[in-house]
Amino acid sequence: MKKSFALFLLLLNFSLFTNSCKEKIKPSIINAKIEGVYPTQESWDSRITFTREGKLLAILEVKHLLIYEDRKETLLEDGIKVDFYDEQQKHTTTLIARRGTVNDMTKDLAAYGNVIVTSEDGTTLKTEKLFWKNNTQKIETDAYVEIDSPKEKIRGTGLVSDQNLKNYKIINVTGQTTKVD
């Protein structure tokens, strides 16, 4: 009796085990290919220093940085700030923008979204996109610009300037006023 009862319990457990295995829900498998390019490096609250021959050119601060080595590009997201320096390593201007990109080969910077450049003498440039060329250390844009300096206010489309905002040219001036002391 004990053997048959033990055998009955063993069969009952086996039956329950095999039935419970059949009732388990298997997760569905989605046969989808994930496409896209992912950064090889990612960082938050970063600070990058640009130099040439040991001399300080610029310091970039960014909230979210994504490096794409295959594309040779770095994306700058969630707010950027760049402090520029002259040949004597003296601070000349500050650029802020919502986002930007750096060409990792040339070190050129593109800034987008509420771009504001302020020089040490109080000149302010406002635009929606701006490009800084590393080899010439000049800034340029084909977008609408506003420049407010201690001497004048100028509005227009397109700009080429040194990074200090001392020598600038607006391609198509749409408005200009001179400030009177």
pLDDT tens digits, residue range 102-160? 999 998 999 999 999 999 999 999 999 999 998 888 999 999 999 999 889 999 999 99
* Span 32-61, average pLDDT: 83
pLDDT band at 7 (very low <50, low <70, confident <90, very high): very low
Instruction: Report the CATH superfamily, name and number, of domain 41-178.
Output: Lipopolysaccharide (LPS) transport protein A like domain (2.60.450.10)
DSSP the chain: -HHHHHHHHHHHHHHHHHHHHHHSPPPP-----------SEEEEEEEEEEEETTEEEEEEEEEEEEEETTTTEEEEEEEEEEEEE-TT--EEEEEEESEEEEETTT--EEEEEEEEEEETTS-EEEEEEEEEETTTTEEEEEEEEEEE-SSEEEEEEEEEEETTSSSEEEEEEEEEEE---
CB 149 within 8 A of CB 137: no
Residue 3 has pLDDT above 60, yes or no: no
Query: In this predicted structure, what is the pLDDT of residue 131?
Result: 96
The residue whose two tokens read 């938050």 is 44
Residue 79 has pLDDT above 90, yes or no: yes
Q: Please classify residue 149 by burial: count the beta carbons closer than 10 Å to its beta carbon, then call 0-12 exposed, 13-18 middle and 19+ buried.
A: middle
pLDDT band at 87 (very low <50, low <70, confident <90, very high): confident
Query: In this predicted structure, what is the pLDDT of residue 1?
Result: 52
Cross-strand pairs, 59 = 49, 83
